[in-house]
């Protein structure tokens, strides 16, 4: 399986770009991410407490020891930051395994990213890299929710799960493009990190830029 091209081959046309530095896209992705976190937290809350009074729920979330509550919050903050780094490294690992090319990592105001800017990647490798963090971290945050004994921990992992799924919105959007619109395995993607550009092979005589 050929993983990538170093130059865009003849007969390819640009059909789509997804750029998180574009204001509209950044706002849309962040709104979806925030909604995902809220939906996850609300679902977890009602699954744990039903319609019990709010004050009673807060009591159940608190432990007897203030230090334990503080440690929980510190754990949550540390795991959130580590997760963002590991998410990008997971994209990078797949890119590196299949292409051995130089990666680029970075941050925008609203997103972290990893790309492989110097090459054009075929659909299969692009899909593997796009979906890798989603698949790896879904069980990491989901499974503890069912097994942790304390409500506070269940809620923290629900938040992390929402943050994870919401944070994958760009990756999942790109994956959906591949699944529903760019189904040709010859489709190429250039991923600079914040921006993915998709190229489709078209017959020289039938140049159609629509997707
Ligand atoms: Zn990602």
Span from the CA of 184 to the centroid of ligand 1 (angstroms)? 22
Span from the CA of 29 to the centroid of ligand 1 (angstroms)? 12
207 has a pLDDT exceeding 80:
no
Average pLDDT score over the chain: 93
Above pLDDT 70, what percent of the chain? 96
Q: For residue 210, what pLDDT is reported?
A: 57
Domain range annotation of the chain: 4-201
The tens digit of pLDDT for each residue in 74-110 reads: 999 999 999 999 999 999 999 999 999 999 999 988 8
Quick one: which of 137, 122, 124, 40 has its CA closest to 88? 137
Q: How many C-beta atoms lie closer than 10 Å to residue 16's C-beta?
A: 17
Question: Average pLDDT of 182-203?
Answer: 94
What does DSSP assign to residue 4? E
Ranges of H-type helices in 100-150: 123-147
- Collapsing DSSP to helix, strand or coil, 117 comes out as strand
160 or 66: which leads in pLDDT: 160
Span from the CA of 38 to the centroid of ligand 1 (angstroms)? 20
Span from the CA of 171 to the centroid of ligand 1 (angstroms)? 5
pTM for the model stands at 0.90
Span from the CA of 24 to the centroid of ligand 1 (angstroms)? 18
Span from the CA of 192 to the centroid of ligand 1 (angstroms)? 13
Q: Are 202 and 66 in contact (CB under 8 A)?
A: no
């Amino acid at each position: 399986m050929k993983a990538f091209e170093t130059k865009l081959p003849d007969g390819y046309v640009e059909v789509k770009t997804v750029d998180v530095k574009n204001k509209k896209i950044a706002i849309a992705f962040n709104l979806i991410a925030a909604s995902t976190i809220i939906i996850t937290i609300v679902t977890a809350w009602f699954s744990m407490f039903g319609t019990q009074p709010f004050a009673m729920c807060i009591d159940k979330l608190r432990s007897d020891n203030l230090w334990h509550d503080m440690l929980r919050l510190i754990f949550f903050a540390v795991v959130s930051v580590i997760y963002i780094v590991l998410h990008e490294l997971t994209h990078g690992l797949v890119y590196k395994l299949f292409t051995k090319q130089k990666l680029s990592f970075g941050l925008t105001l609203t997103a972290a990213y990893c790309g492989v800017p110097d090459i054009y990647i075929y659909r299969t490798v692009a899909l593997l890299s796009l979906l890798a963090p989603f698949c790896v971290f879904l069980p990491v945050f989901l499974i503890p929710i069912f097994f942790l004994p304390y409500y506070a921990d269940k809620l923290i992992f629900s938040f992390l799960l929402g943050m994870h799924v919401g944070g994958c919105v760009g990756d999942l959007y790109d994956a959906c493009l591949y699944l529903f619109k760019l189904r040709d395995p010859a489709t190429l993607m250039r991923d600079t990190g914040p921006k993915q550009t998709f190229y489709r092979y078209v017959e020289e005589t039938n140049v159609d830029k629509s997707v």
